[in-house]
Chains A and B, each alone.
Chain A
């Protein structure tokens, strides 16, 4: 367990840490927790394939291995380095987003990824991290008084809106919403006044009818079907209806591992990706679902504890931003499969089959870990150790 009031050895106060110190201070219980959750995912993918490692479970395990390596790697890199390169990473992401947009236009359809051969790179995934880093850097140097000035908030606002607009154009409503909500959380944590949120919220509500005009047909249909799934039980409503049937029929203790009829007989769509939680709920019941929920809450609790333990505003904001992104992933996904929010393409973190999300999430947790390792490092305005 994490000890928020751990003893403070003298050497931790120093601004430079040796490699030995860093490895020593990797939070292994956090690593264990991530592995447990991913393990549940492997079991699920094994069951989804009808009791086979192929085609999903094995690949997912390999990706998790790669992801863990990235996590450790990212964690060991000095957090100030990440801070110094935040804006660069942001610019790179923007360029990639524009590139994807151009390629997508030429390819006559929505294209969200760039093929790098070994992996299909989704610029929007990188942007999720780059935006958190950039905003954290921007607010790192700001005093509470700075944050109170409207003009001061203009650059970060633009920083958010530019990628959101590009992602919306892809169109990827889910990612756009996640970018906005994560950014909102960072603004909130940075101390932006509450009344401003109220204004934005009111403006947002007022803008819904306008935004409706810009939605694609399939997106509108998803929203309408969410509001009334019965209007199209065999079309767009099919997913959510079957998902609820699977979950509900699981009952308290579930139908047993590999015995979910809805998933085994293919009534459940996308059971290895977005609807994997449904399958889990069908086979393991409410008990299983609550255990998984508990594990996620525990992980998020870790993220909060780390954020609160950080000395630097950058570390705090990064840890909290990543944690919030993670929370949004898991909340939107589970709420979606339970019919609480419209169907949007958001995977269940660490469990759904899919490479980019797994790698980018572990990359994110690597940053949280880095913030933990470098929790006592003070950081200057531009990422140096002096103010």
Chain B
């Protein structure tokens, strides 16, 4: 048994060694437990919460857009959808077959549903069809017992009840694209739409509102176990516009099929009452999704229905530009009000000959008469005396050559040419002849209808630099505040100059022989004072002048003159300014002035009716 004792000793010694080894390992386990459950506990507790709780976004209803009288321009419509929850039906095919007998289901719908069903977890609802009519909803509801797994769900979609009326101002909403992404979590929601143009775009953040959240407990495959809490968020702010949609409708009808624009604004407050641009489009189509053909048709239409011509169409202002030339002339004393210029029908500078629109000439013209008759020679001469830079300076003070700052996206600046501008833009020196052309609003000079309306408003309100707007409230970030009483700066133009020019405008519309006399307003207290403009878009050659200038009606549309008219009314106490531009419409006095007259009558009638209504209520 001696060896047994040996073995005993070895065994006991080694048992101790093995046990100590195991003790070390157990110690490691305990230490690890301490590390995980005490030192790192907080981190892991947070990760466990992250696992468990999923935050779902709730989309707030988008703010409405209303006109100044509360007519709804953009609303949210219930969008009825049929959803399919695959796990609630014994067979997707069975349910779809049954549904197909009740509402229309295309083959591509079915293929898409099957594909999605294969990709997603079986409790995630799949959209079967959207934008169901009320009748389809009713039929589906009635047959619900035979349609296992189907759920009817109400979403919201944007709707523009006035369709193409005011579409350019409203803009439209569409799905979020890559470059629109900000850090607003709402943008991640499937089917979320953001403003892509117009008021929808510029006040998008205010209209969106603040997202709500619903915190739910989910299991490892994402199934919702229960809702923990809910924050409804804030609905989007409603936006009231300064526009009067009934006037807008009238103006749009009056423009008819022309490619044209009318802007009417309050000369004191800067409120834009009418901003029509024809032809227009139906913004609902963008929300619904355009077909390729529809899109091509919109884009390739030469009358560019997608462009808001009031702010993004730039036209040579033509004779309407003479108003700022006249202001500059008086202001810089290059001519006295009574001093006359003789118009023989043309003027020569160097070896170039500049024609007046009236072939035989106007004879002797002072400032007021030159405006009344729109005498080109008078303004050639005045422009020559002024030089292009002093004209540019005055034009800029009256709002030309830079965006007016209206609260709409996509506004263009137009061009007020000067020596510096030409050097910078074209790299060429200024030619003296160009000053003459510029003096009658031709050549490089361009302006938007809105700029022309602003110019007229500043003329009419005593030279105050009014800035136009379309939203009645001031919208800062997501809040709407009432606008403070306007306190415009002066344009830096003397009352004397303004009075003279306004006399000229009065004569244009209200004295026999004025270029817009035929388009005067004869109703008492509604008289308007205006200025016509006919902007030539092609060059008239010497040969054509000899054989006789072709009439507009004989030209292709693209080569016809632009017809322009700017005016303010009522004459005694000016309140509204208007600018009308009819692209390739012909003569300003024949085409644009009557439109302006009709719209201005309507505007003033509405105002009188409103006042009558107010006093009627007071009684």
Q: Which residues of A contact B (CB under 8 A)?
A: 143-145, 185, 188-189, 191, 242, 244-252, 261-262, 265-267, 281, 285-286, 289-290, 293, 297, 300, 304, 307-308, 313, 316, 320, 324, 327, 331, 334-335, 338-340
Having A316-B11, A324-B18, one finds 11 other A-B pairs with CB under 8 Å, namely: A143-B3, A189-B18, A248-B41, A248-B47, A261-B48, A261-B51, A286-B33, A297-B26, A304-B15, A307-B15, A308-B12
Cα separation A307 to B16 with both chains bound (whole Å)? 12
Query: Do A144 and B10 contact each other (CB < 8 Å), given the known contacts A248-B44, A265-B52, A338-B36?
Result: yes
CA gap between A26 and B30 in the complex, in Å: 32
Beyond A247-B37, A338-B32, A338-B36, is A313–B3 a contact (Cβ under 8 Å)? no
Contact of A293 among B26, B51, B217 (CB under 8 A): B26
Q: Digit string of B37-72 for contact with A (CB within 8 Å is 1, else 0)?
A: 110110111011101100000000000000000000
Chain A positions within 8 Å of B105 at CB level: none
Shortest CB-to-CB span from B476 to chain A, Å, is 43
A308 x B15 contact (CB < 8 A): yes
The distance in angstroms between the C-alpha atoms of A250 and B36, with both chains bound, is 9
Interface string of B193-235 (1 = CB under 8 A from A): 0000000000000000000000001111100010000000000
Given contacts A145-B3, A244-B36, A331-B29, whether A265 and B220 have CB atoms under 8 Å apart is yes
Q: How long is the Cα–Cα vector from A185 to B19 in the complex, in angstroms?
A: 11
> Which residue of chain B has the shortest Cβ distance to A188 in the bound complex?
B14
**In the complex, residue of chain B having the shortest beta-carbon distance to the beta carbon of A249:** B48
| Known contacts A285-B37, A304-B15; A267 and B51 CB within 8 A of each other | yes
> Which residues on the B side are within 8 Å of A245 (C-beta)?
44, 47-48, 51
Interchain CB contact under 8 A, A281 and B7? no
**Chain A contacts for B38, CB-based, 8 A:** 251-252, 286
Q: Contacts A265-B225, A281-B33 known; A248 to B40 CB distance under 8 Å?
A: yes
Contact of A281 among B15, B37, B47 (CB under 8 A): B37
A189, A242, A334: most-surrounded residue (chain B CB, <10 A): A189
Complex Cα spacing A100 to B316, Å:
95
A335 to B31: give the CA distance in the assembly, Å: 11
Q: CA separation between A330 and B32, bound complex, in Å? A: 15
A162 to chain B, nearest CB (A): 25
Closest beta carbon of chain A to B221's beta carbon, Å: 7
- The reply to whether A249 and B47 contact each other, CB–CB distance below 8 Å, is yes
Q: Is B22 part of the contact surface with A, judged by Cβ < 8 Å?
A: yes
B28 lies within 8 A of A266 (CB): no
Chain B residues with CB under 8 Å of A145's CB are 3
Query: Does A289 lie within 8 Å of B37, measured CB to CB?
Result: yes
Q: Which of A251, A266, A304 contacts B41 (CB 8 A)?
A: A251
Contact among A189, A249, A293, A331 with B44 in the assembled complex (CB-CB below 8 Å) = A249
Q: Is the CB of A247 within 8 A of B44?
A: yes
Bound together, the chains give a CA A309 to CA B519 distance in angstroms of 126
Contact A189 B14 (CB under 8 A): yes
**Which secondary structure characterizes the binding site on chain B?**
helix
Nearest CB of B to A246, in Å: 7
Q: Is B25 an interface residue (CB 8 A)?
A: yes
11 A-B pairs within 8 Å (CB atoms) are namely A145-B3, A249-B48, A251-B45, A265-B225, A281-B33, A289-B33, A313-B4, A320-B18, A327-B22, A335-B32, A338-B32
Given contacts A286-B37, A290-B33, A300-B22, contact A249 B45 (CB under 8 A): yes
List CB contacts (< 8 Å) of B545-593 with chain A: none
Would you call B6 an interface residue if the criterion is a C-beta within 8 Å of the partner chain's C-beta atoms?
A: yes
Q: Which of A252, A293, A308, A340 contacts B37 (CB 8 A)?
A: A252
Residues in A whose Cβ lies below 8 Å from that of B30: 290, 293
CB distance from A195 to the nearest CB of B (A): 14
- Residue ID in chain A nearest B22 by CB atoms: A327
* Contact across chains for A331 and B48 when beta carbons are under 8 A apart: no
* In the complex, B34 has a CB within 8 A of chain A: yes
Q: Which of A189, A244, A249, A265 contacts B11 (CB 8 A)?
A: A189
Q: Return the chain A residue nearest B12 by Cβ.
A: A308
Cα-based distance from A175 to B38 in the complex (angstroms): 33
User: Contact at B14–A248, with CB atoms within 8 Å?
Assistant: no
Q: Are B7 and A191 in contact (CB under 8 A)?
A: yes
- B residues within 8 A CB of A290? 30, 33
Beta-carbon nearest neighbor of A301 in chain B: B19
For B10, B18, B43, which residue has the most chain A Cβ atoms within 10 angstroms? B18
Contacts of A304 in B (CB 8 A): 15, 19
| Inter-chain contacts of A340 with B (CB < 8 A) | 28-29, 32
Chain B contacts for A248, CB-based, 8 A:
36-37, 40-41, 43-45, 47-48
Q: How far is the CA of A245 from the CA of B36 in the complex (A)?
A: 9
Identify the interface centre among B17, B33, B38: most chain A CB within 10 Å of its CB.
B33
Question: Does B18 lie within 8 Å of A188, measured CB to CB?
Answer: yes
CB-CB under 8 A from A144, the residues of chain B are 3, 6-7, 10
Among B26, B41, B43, B45, the residue within 8 A (CB) of A331 is B26
Is there an interface contact between B29 and A265, defined as CB atoms closer than 8 Å?
A: no
User: Distance in Å from the Cβ of B164 to the closest Cβ of chain A?
Assistant: 50
Query: Shortest CB–CB separation between residue A290 and chain B, in angstroms?
Result: 6
Shortest distance in angstroms between B416's beta carbon and chain A's nearest beta carbon?
A: 62
Write out the residue numbers on chain B whose beta carbons fall within 8 Å of the beta carbon of A331: 22, 25-26, 29
For residue B29, give the distance in angstroms from its CB to the closest CB of chain A: 6
